[in-house]
């Protein structure tokens, strides 16, 4: 009888009179025998349909307008030069993010420290690098040899131990990474600082009262909780840096956007090649967004009473329910079905 | 350079024995002000080993501040606090008090358990990890030590009646359960004294009893406890000494029967008439 519809179930306690029966006038109703008629939402359906028409028109335009020139798009989308350029864009993003957040964490720590010298220096850093437009800063780094033509490592204000020629040490790529990283560090510092400030002061007091060493307090107690606040903003920054790398195209570095410009400069097919770049940017942003979802989930442990299911877990659950229902409705057990079965 | 040399010399020698070994905690002439607001104005308090002291008093009387000075969450302006004859926050050398480094202060704090009004459990760690964290970080953390400590931690959790919640996260627990975990967390360091800062004030009335029961068990085991509380009945039942504070001073102290039933001071009488 496991497949019988809900309405046929006997009351939980069949022998005793139903305790939850409701009296209406002289008639007694057993709630278990009632069926629910769901409310209808015609306007919801209408609005959905109207929106779908607009979307269909747009998709139709994408497919039928010859201006998009999809064959050219297909030809260049996975072309080796484009893939190489894509890889360079990814590298710029990785180096920029690593340098930016490493330095950013140090600056955030400086701003939150009790040392007035470190406080002032880190505040000044953030002030300066947020004030200078990225492109101006990049051009400075690109022309650094004009200011300093050799680079020395040694005792401060004392003798040098090793000297490098700036023009050969700082290539275009290095200049781009330094520029992106330093720019990113100013913003990352503020994001990390915001995250740390969002952690309840009681957590620090509890950690201090338990005698947990300072470093461990930071990495084991404060940072994991700060990450909840840091991550959405940090993901924003990484994605915006990823697309922002296109700005280094002005320095003739063969990243994605530069390469695409070179190609359409040669063959004149501007729109399909811009689409090549666009679709790659979309693909990578999608990947980053998925990574963000799972990293955030990891740090949400303990913050919510029960974890919501991931989209994959949800899909699996629906599939399991669907197959279970399909089995239920197979010919030999088919019966009259109640409204609950259609939910 | 001289300071560093002095410090090194001090670390090498044993600290001079001061204070009375009968006492777990001695508060000697402590003053504390926040800006112009004087919160403690010369507090003297001695708590024997194994004694349970309950601190009562109106809000703003300095009860919580006094408690927080005992484990150096607040630094005192004047006076000295000894825990098992060791000055808190300082090392006595001749007639000079040398400020301890932060690392040494943290080590001292491990000798003083603290239970907060708002529990302050670490929400991102499981109950078991909350209890293990402090003893684990006291020495080099390792997998083996973690395992040893987990066994002991489960005993502490069982002692306060939350053994079955070891793998849950704090937010999945009721307030009463969270506070009992916080007590287990304080116990895990085997402290010389445990300080309770209004441990039941943030709880729903029906959850107060279970936390008081856990504290009662500790008192029965002969632990030294200092409890800031508004639960007069509980203080009467569990405390050996009731301390009444007002205006940053200890007005009156003694066995509960005397202070609660037969107060000598007008302000104590006025306070008790309001809360009883």
- Does A205 sit within 8 Å of B73, measured CB to CB? yes
Q: What residues form DSSP beta bridges with B31?
A: B41, B78
CA dist., res. A192 & res. A213, Å (int) = 21
Whether the CB of A225 is below 8 Å from some CB of chain B: the reply is yes
Q: Domain limits at A124? A: 68-300
Domain locations in chain B as residue ranges: 49-71+105-111+191-275
Structural domains in chain A (count) = 1
- Does A208 sit within 8 Å of B109, measured CB to CB? yes
Domain at B49-71+105-111+191-275, CATH homologous superfamily = P-loop containing nucleotide triphosphate hydrolases (3.40.50.300)
- pLDDT per residue of chain A (343 residues) written in tens, 0 to 9: 344 444 444 444 444 454 444 555 567 788 888 888 888 899 999 999 999 999 999 999 888 888 889 999 999 999 999 999 999 999 999 999 999 999 999 999 999 999 999 999 999 999 999 999 999 999 988 888 777 777 777 777 777 777 777 777 678 888 899 999 999 999 999 999 999 999 999 999 999 999 999 889 999 999 999 999 999 999 999 999 999 999 998 888 889 999 999 999 999 999 999 999 999 999 999 999 999 999 999 998 877 777 888 888 889 999 999 998 888 876 554 444 444 444 3
- Does A299 sit within 8 Å of B171, measured CB to CB? no
Q: Number of CB pairs < 8 Å for A and B?
A: 74
Q: For residue A304, what is the enclosing H or E element? A: none
CA dihedral A63, A64, A70, A72 (to 10 degrees): -170
Please state the separation of Cα A218 from the chain's center in Å.
25
- Could you tell me if A208 and A217 are in contact, meaning their C-beta atoms sit under 8 angstroms apart? yes
A302, A303, A304, A305: which to substitute to probe chain B, counting the most B Cβ within 10 Å?
A: A302
Per-residue pLDDT of B195-250, as tens digits, reads: 999 999 989 988 999 999 999 999 999 999 999 998 898 999 899 999 999 999 99
Q: What residues form DSSP beta bridges with B195?
A: B114, B226
Whether the CB of B168 is below 8 Å from some CB of chain A: the reply is no
| All residues at 6 or more sequence positions from A215 whose CB lies less than 8 Å from its CB, including other chains | none
Quote ipTM for the complex. Answer: 0.86
Nearest CA in chain B to A224: B124
């Amino acid at each position: 009888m496991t497949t019988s519809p809900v309405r046929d179930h006997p009351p939980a306690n069949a022998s005793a009179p139903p305790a939850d029966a409701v009296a209406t006038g002289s008639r007694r109703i057993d709630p278990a025998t009632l069926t629910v008629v769901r409310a209808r939402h015609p306007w919801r359906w209408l609005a959905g349909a109207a929106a779908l028409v607009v979307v269909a028109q747009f998709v139709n335009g994408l497919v039928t307008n010859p201006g998009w020139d999809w064959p050219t798009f297909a030809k260049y989308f996975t072309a080796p030069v484009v893939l190489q350029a894509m890889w360079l864009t990814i590298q710029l993003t990785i180096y920029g993010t690593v340098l930016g957040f490493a330095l950013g964490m140090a600056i955030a720590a400086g701003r939150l420290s009790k040392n007035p010298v470190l406080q002032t220096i880190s505040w000044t850093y953030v002030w300066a690098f947020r004030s200078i437009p990225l492109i101006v800063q990049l051009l400075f780094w690109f022309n650094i040899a004009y200011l300093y033509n050799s680079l020395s490592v040694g005792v401060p204000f004392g003798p040098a131990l090793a000297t490098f020629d700036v023009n050969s040490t700082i290539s275009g790529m290095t200049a781009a990474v330094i520029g992106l990283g330093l720019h990113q560090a100013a913003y990352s510092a503020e994001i990390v600082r915001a995250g740390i400030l969002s952690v309840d002061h009681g957590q620090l007091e509890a950690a201090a009262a338990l005698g947990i060493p300072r470093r461990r307090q930071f990495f084991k107690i404060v940072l994991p909780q700060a990450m909840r606040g840091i991550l959405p903003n940090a993901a924003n920054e990484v994605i915006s840096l990823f697309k922002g790398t296109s700005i280094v195209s002005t320095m003739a570095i063969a990243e994605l956007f530069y390469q695409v410009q070179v190609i359409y400069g040669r063959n004149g097919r501007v729109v399909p090649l811009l689409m090549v770049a666009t679709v790659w940017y979309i693909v990578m942003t999608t990947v980053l967004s998925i990574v963000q979802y799972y990293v955030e989930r990891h740090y949400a442990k303990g913050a919510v009473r029960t974890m919501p299911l991931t989209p994959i877990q949800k899909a699996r659950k629906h599939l399991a329910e669907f197959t279970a229902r399909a089995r239920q409705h197979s010919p030999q057990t088919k019966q009259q079905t109640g409204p609950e079965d259609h939910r | 350079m001289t300071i560093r040399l002095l410090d090194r010399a001090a670390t090498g020698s044993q600290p001079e024995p001061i204070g009375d070994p009968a006492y777990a905690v001695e508060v000697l002439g402590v003053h504390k002000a926040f800006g112009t607001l004087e919160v403690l104005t010369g507090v003297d308090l001695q708590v024997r080993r194994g004694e349970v002291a309950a601190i009562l008093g109106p809000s703003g009387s300095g009860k919580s501040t006094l408690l927080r000075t005992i484990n150096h969450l607040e630094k005192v302006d004047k006076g000295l606090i000894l825990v098992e004859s060791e000055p808190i926050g300082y090392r006595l050398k001749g007639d000079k008090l040398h400020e301890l480094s932060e690392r040494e202060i943290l080590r001292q704090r491990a000798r003083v358990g603290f239970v907060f009004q708002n529990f302050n459990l670490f929400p991102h760690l499981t109950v078991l990890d909350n209890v293990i964290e402090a003893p684990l970080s006291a020495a080099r953390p390792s997998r083996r030590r973690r395992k040893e400590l987990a066994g002991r931690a489960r005993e502490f959790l069982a002692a306060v009646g939350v053994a079955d919640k070891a793998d849950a996260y704090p937010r999945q627990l009721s307030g009463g359960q969270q506070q009992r975990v916080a007590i287990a967390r304080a116990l895990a360091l085997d402290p010389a004294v445990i300080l309770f800062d209004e441990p039941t004030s943030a709880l729903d009335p029906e959850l107060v009893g279970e936390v008081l029961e856990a504290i009662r068990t500790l008192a029965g085991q002969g632990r030294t406890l200092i409890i800031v509380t508004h639960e007069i009945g509980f203080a009467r039942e569990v405390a050996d000494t009731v301390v009444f504070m007002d205006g940053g001073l200890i007005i009156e102290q003694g066995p509960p029967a005397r202070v609660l039933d037969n107060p000598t001071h007008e302000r104590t009488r006025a306070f008790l008439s309001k809360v009883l």
